[in-house]
Amino acid sequence: MPSDSGRVVCVTGAAGYIASWIVKLLLEKGYTVRGTVRNPDDPKNNHLRELEGAKERLTLCKADLLDYQSLRQAIDGCDGVFHTASPVTDDPEQMVEPAVIGTKNVINAAAEAKVRRVVFTSSIGAVHMDPNRHPDKVVDETCWSDLDFCKNTKNWYCYGKAVAEQTAWEEAKAKGVDLVVITPVLVLGPLLQNTVNASVLHILKYLTGSAKTYANSVQAYVHVKDVALAHILLFETPSASGRYLCAESVLHRGEVVEILAKFFPEYPIPTKCSDETKPRAKPYKFSNQKLKDLGLEFTPVKQCLYETVKSLQEKGHLPLPTQENDEPLTIIRS
């Protein structure tokens, strides 16, 4: 990828899991970054200030998704915007309205500031929630979640992400903004922030003993660094357009716990499925070809899981075992 060093870009929700990695990689590439956070003085943002290049080229801006003027000030003079900020909740009042209004505000502020491109972080939640999709249909960028199904099942996170992305496309078209969207699946990998986010908690529960069983379900996974790289790749590639599904593998939860148990047998990882009466859920098929065509190489899911656990240990969220299984992990890319 060519470096666009010297350019000024804005990253909304900069202290988040994915956003922190985007900020880190942008700084490494020589960008000047404005990161929006609710309170720049909050100690939970300290990990951003410690990044290489942060002292010289990172400014944390106080902004709120529902406060248009604060976003306008942060985005003014920027060449591009990475809009990652979004609530992560199943409370409809806290999820839907902030996600939609916040997206409108970011797109409108970007239009006023005449930014070159907006990269919008959507979610697999906006893509795959469709009970009528045939099991053999490949999940790709043409797929959208069924909004009625999301509402009826009270899956407000997926509903909010889908409506927010639709809003982004509508606003971008109306305002003439060059918009590219990335839809990551469940994101794992090393934490830069000190807190445990929702997606990493999905793995942590299998290691602490809080989960006694695993669900008879499947999940798609991707490495957080790959997601951050994909954001920057979409910003820097003039020909990039539309949506990009960001996924490496689909695993059954049983496969996840097997991998974890192999690398970390010292933890109380569950071995029993919570629902053994039904047939084992089959992984769905997906295509990540659009990102591969741009040159992105995905980190294998086994390495992703391994690095997630090592990071949880290093951050103090997991007790270090007395006899640590610390054999080096060798991954050969196919």
Q: Which residues are catalytic?
A: 161
- 186-188/80-83 β-pairing: unpaired
Edge-to-edge strand list for the sheet holding 8-12: 58-62, 32-37, 8-12, 80-83, 117-121, 179-184, 242-246
Contact 333, 302 (CB under 8 A): no
State residue 221 phi and psi, 5-degree precision.
-130, 155
DSSP secondary structure letters along 124-152:
GGGTS--TTS-TTSPB-TT----HHHHHH
Contact 155, 92 (CB under 8 A): no
Tokens 């979004």 -> residue: 86
For residues 102 and 84, what is the distance between their CA atoms, to the nearest angstrom?
11
- 249-252/218-223 β-pairing: antiparallel
Q: How many residues does the chain have?
A: 334
Contact 8, 34 (CB under 8 A): yes
Rounded to 5, what percent of the chain is helix, strand, coil? 40, 15, 45
Structure tokens at 37: 């956070």
Contact 207, 269 (CB under 8 A): yes
Contact 72, 109 (CB under 8 A): yes
